[in-house]
Structure 1
Amino acid sequence: MNIFLNLIDLGGHNSKTNKLRKNIYKTTVLLCLLQCLLFFSCKKKESIVNVVTLSKAHQVTFALQDVELALGSLYRLLDPEFADKAEIVLSIKELDTLKPEGFKIDTTNNRIQVIGYDEAGLMYGTLELAEQIKLYGLDNVKSVVQNPYLEMRGPKFNIPLDVRTPSYSDVSDAAQHNLPHMWDLNFWKNYIDTMARYRYNYISLWSLHPFPSLVKVPGYEDVALDDVQRSTTNWNEHYNLMAIGFDAPEIIENVEVLKNINIEEKIEFWKSVMAYGKSRNIDFHIITWNIFDYGTQGKYGITDKIDNEITKDYFRKSIKQLFVTYPDLKGIGVTTGENMHGAKAEEKENWAYETYAKGILDAAKEMPDRHFTFIHRQHQTGAKKIAEKFKEVVDAPNVEFLYCFKYAKAHVYSATEQPYHENDNFIEDIQGMKTIWGLRNDDTFYFRWGAPDFTREFIKNLPYDVAKGIYFGSDQWIWGRDFLTKNPETPKQIEVEKHWYQWLLWGRLSFDPYISNERFEDILRSRFPDADAHKLFSAWQNASMVFPITTGFHWGSLDFQWYIEGCKSRPEFAQNLTGFHDVNRFINLGVHPKSGNQSIPDYVKMVSEGNTTTLKTPLEVAENLQKISESALKDLEDIHDINNKELKFTLNDIKTVSFLGKYYAHKIEGATYLAWFRDSKNKEHQELAVKALERALGFWNRYVNQAMLQNHNPLWTNRVGIVDWKQITEWVKQDIEIAKN
């Protein structure tokens, strides 16, 4: 609106003229004020958005907070009696189109209705509504019907409860830094809220022997542990891969008390955590490895011997007591084999039945109205034998029996198809029963990952008919609070928020694998308004593919056999004293069987014989790594002048991983030419190998320098030991000498 004040110069300065001038000025000002009043009174005001919820469930109240944030000051919650006057109505209704946890958003009849099959469905529908409002505005909310693609979606969380009751991951920096956070209710609330928004609906806590830290078992009361303790020992680099010896005297006898708390207070703490999870549609499961007696200190004659009847009785009563103590605990899971001293498969399953199976059957009989879940990992025993032995559990009316299978070994970032269930005839053996597919990520600990196309394709390729769901997580890492970042947030971010995009992708796409890339790009645009979202999406996806392309070619299937961010494994698998995967190991280690890649020895044999292949040759893999890394770096050139701290960290990670991709590209190229030279004795191939490995060194240096801008290193891991990028640099240099000599 433009208002022009034309003041007339009548000439002269006598009193009459001045009086006239003042009258004209006053009249003009009054007219201006009147015009302003008319303008603002006629201007359309933004309407208050009235919201009504017909459910008082905690899950729905939680999701409504996001709607309120999205609408800001326009949000107003009305009582249910005013539903006919509301623009947004939330309700629960069993529609033919909906399944448990499913929802419908209907935008017809000039109002938005969110209908959930149940409280969980209404929560997810309300979260979807909040996201649409945030991304596109209230007027652009779209109708949608969604049902969960996978029924169970959860993290694998190796939990360090106490030095006396360790997890598999305790001998590591990740566990030692995170042990205090496991007893912090604020951590768990933040973690649970985040996982609920990403559509996860259960949390599996993995431990070697958690009972002394969680329950007081009738007849074994003195086993229960007061306080939370952490060891102050000077840790060794490597410990037994079967988790034996975590109670060595130097570990147990040198401790600090992190929290003064008795067992009754511990129980109340975990009751609160599980109840909070329930309020976000998240169940808790406890899964163990066996047989471990950590924390019992030999009391009552308990040992880790498979034929100890006292131990069997103690375990059986511990399982039952878990469910008696924790009303919101959903299930228990068992792994046989790690510490069973060479027992036969039948002996292992007999022990598991006498302890875990009978324990949950005791609980199920005592609480017939409660529904339980029993998870048996198909780990070192055949599925058919398990089903036969545990028939009573399978047939129990209030117990759901599930298998669990390590679907991608330790590296979900390897290939979108996996062969291991086929190799074991697993699907045929379980005869229509359901399984949880274990998706292990022992790859991305430092750097933020985000490739929707890979995640979507992976999930769609899961054997769906027998799939109950997935767990996604690590054995080398504790997804607690970030401790690697220089100049971190205060308080330090929880890991699932630092790595938010990775966790969002696996959660959301497990719920709905048909979410488009456009939606993810819009989420990036909303989170990082300073960046070109399209360029960021593309750069992040390309850089993230460095992980599966490299690991799909250089295949060490287990966590101690390959860690890509450090180019390391345990020394024995690297076939040297350092654990570094040198150029020789890149020549002789095979490829992932479903990657479509050709190994270096097979390539050399092929070219020497003048044959061809439909597989991706090593040089084509190297070229692909070069291409995606260069593309990511090119996209980053158009994202600059960044004030957002998280975005700066993210861009640094993308650049760092792009340099890592170029390192592996040149390393694969150099290894290929070196193997070719050894076969052909052609000096030109040797020269090409040396040049490629010199370029690899250059990009390794850039990788380390970029990574060190914002990360602490060295890092002590439980599976491959100490990862020291500067030390590894010296080993990278040696690759050049190997090629020269």
Structure 2
Amino acid sequence: MQFALQDLQIALGDRYVEVNPPGNDAPNITLQIDTLTHLSEEGFSIRKEANRIVVTGYDEAGLMYGTLELVEQIKLYGLEGVKPMVRNPYLEMRGPKFNIPLDVRTPSYTDVSDAAQYNIPHIWDFSFWKDYIDTMARYRYNYISLWSLHPFPSLVKVTGYEEVALDDVQRSTVEWKENYNLMAIGFDAPEILENVEVLKRITIDEKIEFWKKVMAYGKRRNIDFHIITWNIFDYGTQGKYGITDDRNNEITKDYFRKSIEQLFVTYPDLAGIGLTTGENMHGASREEKENWAYDTYAKGILDVAKEMPERQFKFIHRQHQSGAKEIAEKFKAVVDADNVEFLFCFKYAKAHVYSATKQPYHEDANYLEQIEGMKTLWGLRNDDTFYFRWGAPDFTREFINNLPYEDVAKGIYFGSDQWIWGRDFLTKNPLTPNQIEVSKHWYQWLLWGRLSYDPTITNERFKGLLAHKFKGINADKLFSAWQNASMVYPLTTGFHWGSLDFQWYIEGCKSRPKQAENETGFHDVNRFISLGVHPKSGNQSIPDYVKMVSNGSTTTLKTPLQVSEELMNVSNSALNVLEEFKATDSRELQFTLNDIKTVSFLGKYYAYKIEGATYLALFRNSNKKEYQDLAVKALENALDFWKQYVHQAMLQNHNPLWTNRVGIVDWIQITEWVKQDIEIAKQ
């Protein structure tokens, strides 16, 4: 409440009065907790009684959210314009997926990338977590999930395995390769571990105190911490005590089981543990995977649950490379434990939340039938927007409202495997050096957090927030331009569907080489013909369109040329609005306008690329020269707009960027590949 009251005092300014006794004529604000109301946990109400405003929370978290809502209304409408409301959270759990680069010896999936290497020291800086947690609380997130391949050596001292615990924070100085194993194997290669620098001198005991402090601070903002792992990885153990990644190794099983228990013994504010089976369990059947997970993670959580019967725990099991029904049966003892809440986690949109507002993958897996009403965290992966600021409230709201909800939705996590949402390192001449990413991308993170708490928030509220942040601008026009430009992402990815992160990255038009079906990883015009569409996008693929044209039939789907036209329309609409904005002294606004312009050029590139690919496919099918001419013309236009995209992007962003899933994204190099599309069409 001190956190929320500080914001309230700032909002009230000179009108702030610490004590305002009842009966005084001045406006009076009363903040109270009342569990005997129609509110639920984290819920709040705001009501007006004559000159009195009463904020009621079901609990402290609800009162904090209610006070933050009051603060926002005062900023936007003034004290006199505060509107009564009642709100309960739509989704109970709302949190980021944070792949955490703790140390070269205990890496995350994302560690072999610029984003991770830059952020290792910031992970051990409390000022980062303070800013991050405060920001996420204002956006209504209430938990943080830290994802690591094997975090235990950097976080705990395990009884019987004390020498595994790691002092200091290290980073490799190796000359990294471009691409590493997609299953996160080999991150402990000799050249990586033998060439290191010490970033911070710190003992394991000091590390433990650091993370206790971070978790306690989160608790004071209604934010719980969960640690989620992939398995079986033994990074950081260096073979001590005979620990290996062999699933039949009884020492390894014992080490993992005791590590799970030790996490909760060490960290009183740790809310839960989560796991993934299968990433490093080659050749194992589903049953063998779950047997190992039960013998380690399940037994570990049951040990500590029995040891601390007064404490509540969450146990998260991803349904990934395994089956939900088998998991539920195997982990029945955990499901039935009085003080353990068992949650499933499902990769709802594969790696691209910005693809379509409806997703088919839970349906394809008969997932809802398998879990039989058990609660789920829907995984919303954003491996699309790393450079540019995104903001489409209509898309976000519709997406959230389409999530399977009744009886099954516990909440969401939103985050990336190609990115560390730590501190910004891409911006040239930033307004704030080392700005936290969730502040740079404030609108995107605010939308997913606030709309997950309350999907009824209207666009008028978001326009109000834009008007307050960017004084003097036409908020309606900025809202429209930003939303239109942001739709470039789902319109393109909904048509050109590489479902996993290594299969498609839109800001670089790249994947791994194998998935691009060439040596570079660039998705050329041939790949735009051959790659299919998102199953729920309502789009028609290029091969199906060519067949339709050939046989003279029709379709209710959006044809490739209609997708191209839609991309052109949203991009032109954004660019037309931007022309009305004058030069500004606000660097934050200038950064935002530049991103909108950049993404609009990218949208026009993809519009022409899809058009060119469509005509090229028609030419190959019919051998009609006019189709080839149209393809060449479209791809020449695509090249023009790719060049404009690169020019605009590099005005304020560093290039190239090394990512862990699609390798090096070098816009200058990619330009040469874009040129080759024209030659492909001419030939």
Give the TM-score, by structure 1 length: 0.91
Contact 1:588–1:601 under 8 Å retained in 2: yes
RMSD after superposition:
0.8
Could you tell me which residue of structure 1 aligns to residue 185 of structure 2? Answer: 244
Q: Partners in 1 of 2:57 and 2:642 — Cα distance?
A: 51
Contact 1:83–1:89 under 8 Å retained in 2: no
Could you tell me which residue of structure 2 aligns to residue 199 of structure 1? Answer: 140
User: Which aligned runs of 4 or more in structure 1 are off by greater than 3 angstroms?
Assistant: 82-86
Q: Partners in 2 of 1:464 and 1:84 — Cα distance?
A: 46
User: Closer, same or farther in 2 for the Cα pair 1:83/1:218, shift >3 Å?
Assistant: farther
Aligned pairs for 1:389-468 (under 5 A) are: 389-465=330-406, 466-468=408-410
Contact 2:41–2:59 under 8 Å retained in 1: yes
Matched, 1:633 2:582: no
**For 1:107, what is the secondary structure of its paired residue?**
strand
Could you tell me which residue of structure 1 aligns to residue 592 of structure 2? Answer: 650
> Percent same amino acid among aligned pairs?
79
Matched, 1:531 2:450: no
Instruction: Give the residue type in structure 2 aligned to 1:696.
Output: A
**For 2:658, what is the secondary structure of its paired residue?**
strand
Q: Partners in 1 of 2:145 and 2:577 — Cα distance?
A: 38
Matched, 1:228 2:169: yes
> Per-residue deviation at 1:95?
4.0
**Residues 264-283 of structure 1: per-residue CA shift (max 9 Å, x gap):** 00000000000000000000
> Per-residue deviation at 1:306?
0.2
**For 1:405, what is the secondary structure of its paired residue?**
strand
Could you tell me which residue of structure 2 aligns to residue 260 of structure 1? Answer: 201
Instruction: Give the residue type in structure 1 aligned to 2:317.
Output: H
Gaps of 5+ in 2: none
Q: Partners in 2 of 1:130 and 1:718 — Cα distance?
A: 41
> Per-residue deviation at 1:64?
1.1
The equivalent position to 1:324 in structure 2, one of 262, 265, 272, is 265
Could you tell me which residue of structure 2 aligns to residue 279 of structure 1? Answer: 220
Instruction: Give the residue type in structure 1 aligned to 2:342.
Output: F
> Per-residue deviation at 1:109?
3.0
The equivalent position to 1:735 in structure 2, one of 664, 677, 682, is 677
Q: Partners in 2 of 1:261 and 1:376 — Cα distance?
A: 32
Could you tell me which residue of structure 2 aligns to residue 117 of structure 1? Answer: 58
> Per-residue deviation at 1:532?
1.2
Q: Partners in 2 of 1:640 and 1:624 — Cα distance?
A: 27
The equivalent position to 1:571 in structure 2, one of 513, 516, 537, is 513
Contact 2:425–2:434 under 8 Å retained in 1: yes
**For 1:219, what is the secondary structure of its paired residue?**
coil
> Per-residue deviation at 1:491?
3.4
**For 1:194, what is the secondary structure of its paired residue?**
helix
Could you tell me which residue of structure 2 aligns to residue 181 of structure 1? Answer: 122
Could you tell me which residue of structure 2 aligns to residue 334 of structure 1? Answer: 275
Matched, 1:551 2:504: no
> Per-residue deviation at 1:341?
2.0
Instruction: Give the residue type in structure 1 aligned to 2:85.
Output: V
The equivalent position to 1:299 in structure 2, one of 240, 255, 261, is 240
Q: Partners in 2 of 1:517 and 1:457 — Cα distance?
A: 13
Could you tell me which residue of structure 1 aligns to residue 556 of structure 2? Answer: 614
**Residues 500-535 of structure 1: per-residue CA shift (max 9 Å, x gap):** 000000000000001000000000000001321111
**For 1:115, what is the secondary structure of its paired residue?**
strand
Instruction: Give the residue type in structure 1 aligned to 2:210.
Output: F
Contact 1:415–1:594 under 8 Å retained in 2: yes
User: Closer, same or farther in 2 for the Cα pair 1:240/1:84, shift >3 Å?
Assistant: farther
**For 1:542, what is the secondary structure of its paired residue?**
helix
Could you tell me which residue of structure 2 aligns to residue 20 of structure 1? Answer: none
Q: Partners in 2 of 1:576 and 1:711 — Cα distance?
A: 28
**Residues 667-697 of structure 1: per-residue CA shift (max 9 Å, x gap):** 0000000000001111000000000000000
Contact 1:271–1:326 under 8 Å retained in 2: yes
**For 2:310, what is the secondary structure of its paired residue?**
coil
Q: Partners in 1 of 2:293 and 2:507 — Cα distance?
A: 37
Could you tell me which residue of structure 2 aligns to residue 695 of structure 1? Answer: 637
Could you tell me which residue of structure 1 aligns to residue 83 of structure 2? Answer: 142
Matched, 1:710 2:665: no
Contact 2:431–2:588 under 8 Å retained in 1: no
Structure number, greater radius of gyration: 1
Could you tell me which residue of structure 2 aligns to residue 77 of structure 1? Answer: 18
The equivalent position to 2:546 in structure 1, one of 604, 607, 614, is 604
Q: Partners in 1 of 2:17 and 2:585 — Cα distance?
A: 33
Q: Partners in 1 of 2:467 and 2:561 — Cα distance?
A: 36
Q: Partners in 2 of 1:84 and 1:450 — Cα distance?
A: 45
Contact 1:103–1:115 under 8 Å retained in 2: yes
Could you tell me which residue of structure 1 aligns to residue 458 of structure 2? Answer: 516
Instruction: Give the residue type in structure 2 aligned to 1:714.
Output: P
> Per-residue deviation at 1:83?
5.5
**Residues 100-128 of structure 1: per-residue CA shift (max 9 Å, x gap):** 00000011232000000000000000000
**Residues 410-455 of structure 1: per-residue CA shift (max 9 Å, x gap):** 0000000000000000001000100000000000000000000000
Instruction: Give the residue type in structure 1 aligned to 2:368.
Output: I
Instruction: Give the residue type in structure 1 aligned to 2:682.
Output: K
Aligned pairs for 1:665-680 (under 5 A) are: 665-680=607-622
Q: Partners in 2 of 1:491 and 1:624 — Cα distance?
A: 37
Could you tell me which residue of structure 2 aligns to residue 497 of structure 1? Answer: 439
**For 1:78, what is the secondary structure of its paired residue?**
coil
Matched, 1:481 2:420: no
> Per-residue deviation at 1:159?
0.1
User: Closer, same or farther in 2 for the Cα pair 1:303/1:84, shift >3 Å?
Assistant: farther
> Per-residue deviation at 1:139?
0.3
**Residues 359-415 of structure 1: per-residue CA shift (max 9 Å, x gap):** 011111111000000000000111110000000000000000000000000000000
Q: Partners in 2 of 1:325 and 1:526 — Cα distance?
A: 44
Q: Partners in 2 of 1:719 and 1:159 — Cα distance?
A: 16
Q: Partners in 2 of 1:356 and 1:687 — Cα distance?
A: 61
Could you tell me which residue of structure 2 aligns to residue 361 of structure 1? Answer: 302
> Per-residue deviation at 1:97?
2.0
**For 2:170, what is the secondary structure of its paired residue?**
strand
Aligned pairs for 1:85-164 (under 5 A) are: 85=24, 87-164=28-105
Instruction: Give the residue type in structure 2 aligned to 1:224.
Output: A
Gaps of 5+ in 1: 1-59
> Per-residue deviation at 1:490?
3.5
**For 1:154, what is the secondary structure of its paired residue?**
strand
Q: Partners in 1 of 2:216 and 2:17 — Cα distance?
A: 28
Instruction: Give the residue type in structure 2 aligned to 1:408.
Output: A
> Per-residue deviation at 1:84?
5.8
Q: Partners in 1 of 2:181 and 2:485 — Cα distance?
A: 34
Q: Partners in 2 of 1:704 and 1:83 — Cα distance?
A: 61
Of stretches 197-206 and 84-93 in structure 1, the one that deviates more from structure 2 is: 84-93
Matched, 1:624 2:570: no
> Per-residue deviation at 1:147?
0.3
> Per-residue deviation at 1:173?
0.1
Aligned pairs for 1:717-728 (under 5 A) are: 717-728=659-670
Give the TM-score, by structure 2 length: 0.99
Of stretches 527-536 and 468-477 in structure 1, the one that deviates more from structure 2 is: 527-536
Q: Partners in 1 of 2:431 and 2:475 — Cα distance?
A: 24
Aligned residues: 680
